[in-house]
Structure 1
Amino acid sequence: MVIQTGNRQAYENFRGGKGTIYITWFVEDMPYNGSPLRKIALVEVPPGASVGFHVHEGTEEVYYVLSGKAKYIDGDKEVVITGGTITITPEGTGHGVENIGEDTLKLLAVINEVKRG
């Protein structure tokens, strides 16, 4: 399967965050039968904007930071992340991210379904 285009959308106060962020959805609800992969997206967070803290129920999420600088909330911890950082949010845990840099924060986000049983 090859996917070459994405659908870029603006989101105001995404997940209770600040400002407007932009998400280019490359995959929304993966059509491949049996795959746990659900979503792949480029997340662009302008300076001062954020993705609000949220908990993943039934899914896990991985961020790969392409560029920028951010305050990342990992459960009850705050850490600064920059280009090259990978974050993993397992099912049942939460995270949030705020751009504290001067340039747009760019993240590759991958969301997988967690299958129980």
Structure 2
Amino acid sequence: MITRKRELPETVKTQMRGGDGEVRMKELLQPGQFCGHGRLFNHMVLAPGCSIGYHEHQGESETFYILAGEARYNDNGTEVTLSPGDCAHTASGQGHSIANAGETPLEFIALIVNS
């Protein structure tokens, strides 16, 4: 199955998980395409000053792969900077947040799979 860029569903969420500003999301896979093993595979974009607030995952993990920009990433209370090519994984029972720490859009792939 091929899905063209123009066919990818796109949504915008404001103050996602208590964060600031907007998050633009393109669904790379639809929920039914996970065969019961996950729920999200998205291309995400945060404009400068925008963020996804701190939250924990239960029964699932989330992985971020940074494509462009600079991120301030909270990994269970420890803040680090992520750059293109960096990957951050949050296991079930752990928490995280992400914010655009630069002057250009922060783009990343987010994947949530069941534990």
TM-score (norm 2): 0.90
Deviating above 6 A after TM superposition, structure 1's stretches of 4 or more consecutive aligned residues are: none
Give how far 1:28 is off: 3.6
Give how far 1:76 is off: 1.3
TM alignment of 1:73-92, pairs within 5 A: 73-92=74-93
Give how far 1:32 is off: 4.8
Give how far 1:86 is off: 0.3
Aligned with 2:9 (options 7, 10, 13): 7
Match of 1:43 in 2: 44
Q: Does the Cα contact within 8 Å between 1:30 and 1:39 map onto a contact in 2?
A: no
Give how far 1:30 is off: 3.5
Task: Tell me the distance in 2 between the aligned counterparts of 1:86 and 1:30.
Answer: 25
Instruction: Number of aligned residue pairs: give it.
Output: 113
Task: Tell me the distance in 2 between the aligned counterparts of 1:38 and 1:82.
Answer: 25
SS of match in other structure, 2:17: helix
Match of 2:20 in 1: 18
> Unaligned regions of 5+ residues in structure 1, if any?
none
SS of match in other structure, 1:31: helix
> Unaligned regions of 5+ residues in structure 2, if any?
none
TM-score (norm 1): 0.89
- Determine which structure has the larger helix proportion and give its number: 2
Match of 1:107 in 2: 108
Counting aligned pairs with the same residue, the percent is 29
> In angstroms, what is the RMSD of aligned CA positions?
1.4
Shift of the 101–112 alpha-carbon distance from structure 1 to 2, 3 Å rule, reads same
Match of 2:67 in 1: 66
